[in-house]
Amino acid sequence: MGRTERGDFSELKALFRSAGATRLYAKALAENDNSKNQVYFRTGFGSLNILPNRGIEASADADATKSIFVAGLDFAWLAEDGLAVPAPHAKLILYPQYPEVRFSGF
């Protein structure tokens, strides 16, 4: 890939386009968006309308005091060579008590 910011992003967009992407989203990560925490998407459940998912189910981690729901994603990383690398455990986690959506398992 090119070394200029503009070249890098243009080439990155071309790789995504050739892999079938029609829209790109970006998120500035917060300090607590790390390997131990799930990445916070947004308040409310609007991101469920943005990212195609496999349907919402009650989480196995839910109990009588808290409801948690998960939506599996057909998610993959895009390698530098343009090949898609599946992330089979990627999912959105919905916390109705807050309410918010987080991204996990990627």
Give the model confidence (pLDDT) of 24-77 as tens digits.
888 787 777 666 678 887 788 887 788 888 999 988 776 666 788 999 998 888
pLDDT at 35: 64
> In the prediction, which pLDDT does 70 show?
92
**Among 13-17, 41-45, 91-95, whose mean pLDDT is lowest?**
41-45
What sign does the dihedral 85-76-29-101 (CA atoms) show?
negative
Task: Using alpha carbons, select from 71, 38, 36, 75 the residue that is nearest to residue 53.
Answer: 71
Q: List, as one string, the DSSP characters of 57-95.
A: EE-TT-BTTB--EEEEE--EEE-TTS-EEE-TT-EEEEE
